[in-house]
């Protein structure tokens, strides 16, 4: 795999990890909104601020990895254009 291909592969994996992290944090939000300290299922209440921070971190990781993919795509296009000339 070329170095540019490796960059794209790592960035794509980062997008998937960020999406998974966001979904995990999003599932914690309803738990954090339970009024009592213990939910009806007996699980301890999730930490609302931490869940929100985790969602933000996942969002920024997702965006950063997308920008890496975009830069790699632009670089690939420039290389292809240079070869065509």
Tens of each residue's pLDDT in the chain, 85 residues: 888 899 999 999 999 999 999 999 999 888 777 655 555 555 556 688 888 999 999 999 999 999 999 999 999 999 999 998 7
d(CA 4, CA 82): 16
**pTM score of the predicted model:** 0.77
**Alpha carbon distance, N-terminus to C-terminus of the chain:** 25
Q: DSSP secondary structure string, 58-80? A: HHHHHHHHHHHHHHHHHHHHHHH
Cβ-based burial of 57 (10 A; exposed 0-12, middle 13-18, buried ≥19): middle
């Amino acid at each position: 795999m070329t170095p540019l291909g490796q960059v794209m592969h790592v960035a794509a994996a980062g997008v998937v990890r960020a999406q998974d992290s966001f979904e995990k944090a999003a599932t914690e939000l309803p738990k954090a909104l339970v009024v009592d300290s213990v939910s009806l299922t007996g699980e301890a209440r999730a930490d609302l601020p931490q869940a929100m921070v985790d969602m933000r971190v996942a969002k920024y990781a997702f965006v950063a990895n997308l920008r890496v993919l975009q830069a790699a795509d632009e670089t690939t296009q420039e290389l292809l254009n240079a070869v065509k000339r």
